[in-house]
Structure 1
Amino acid sequence: MLQLLQDIALGRVEASTTQVRAAIAAVQYTHTKKGDGGKKEEKEAAAKKVASRFSPAAPPKLVAAGGKKV
C-alpha cells in the first residue's frame, strides 16, 4: 500500500479517490509512525541493554573453610 501511495504521489499511477482512501486506511495498519507507540518499547529495550552491563557479581567462594560456613 505504501508503494502504491508513493507511485500515486509521483504520478506513475492514476487512481480513484476511493482507491487512495483505501490505501491510506490500509497503510496505517502495516506501517507505524514513530509517535504511535514504540517509545515505551524503545526505552525498555535500551534500559535492559544498559542493565545487563551492571549485573550483580557472584558472592565470594569460601575457600579457607573448605566451602563450609563458619
Structure 2
Amino acid sequence: MDERDMLSLLQDVALGKVDATMLQVRAAIAAVQYTHVKKGDGGKKDAQKDAAKKAGGGRFASAAPPKLVASGGKNL
C-alpha cells in the first residue's frame, strides 16, 4: 500500500475501495489514535473554555492580570 493517512485508509477499507488484511486494519486502528483526536478526548474543561471564549469575547471577556507595580515589575 502507498503511504497515506491512517484515517483515510480505514475509511477506504470500510467503503470497500481497498482490500486490507486484518493485521493491517488493526495496525491502522492503533496508529490513528495518535494522529487524530476524538472530540471526547479533548476534555469537558477544554470545550467549556473554548465556548466561553467564543461567547464572552466582548464586554465580559476576562481581564488582564494585575501589574506588579510595587516591586518594579519583578516577580519575587
TM-score (structure 1 length as normaliser):
0.63
Change in Cα spacing, 1:17 to 1:27, as seen in structure 2 (3 Å) is same
The sequence identity of aligned pairs, in percent, is 68
Amino acid at match of 2:59: R
| Distance (Å, rounded) in 2 between the aligned partners of 1:45 and 1:34 | 13
Matched AA of 2:60: F
1:26 to 20, 23, 31: 31
Give distance in 2, aligned partners of 1:11 and 1:36: 29
- What 5-or-longer segments of structure 2 have no aligned partner? 1-5, 64-76
**Structure whose CA Rg is larger:** 1
Report the Cα offset of residue 25 of structure 1: 0.5
Instruction: Note the residue ranges of structure 1 that are not aligned, 5 or more in a row.
Output: 57-70
Instruction: Provide the aligned length of Structure 1 versus Structure 2.
Output: 56
Return the alpha-carbon distance in structure 2 between the equivalents of residues 20 and 39 of structure 1: 30
Give CA deviations for 1:11-62 in whole Å, capped at 9, x if unaligned: 1111111110010011111111121124311211222341642257xxxxxx
Could you list the runs of 4 or more consecutive aligned residues of structure 1 that deviate by over 3 angstroms after TM superposition? none
Q: Which of 50, 55, 58 does residue 45 from structure 1 map onto?
A: 50
- Separation in 1 of the partners of 2:50 and 2:17? 40
TM-score, with structure 2 as normaliser: 0.59
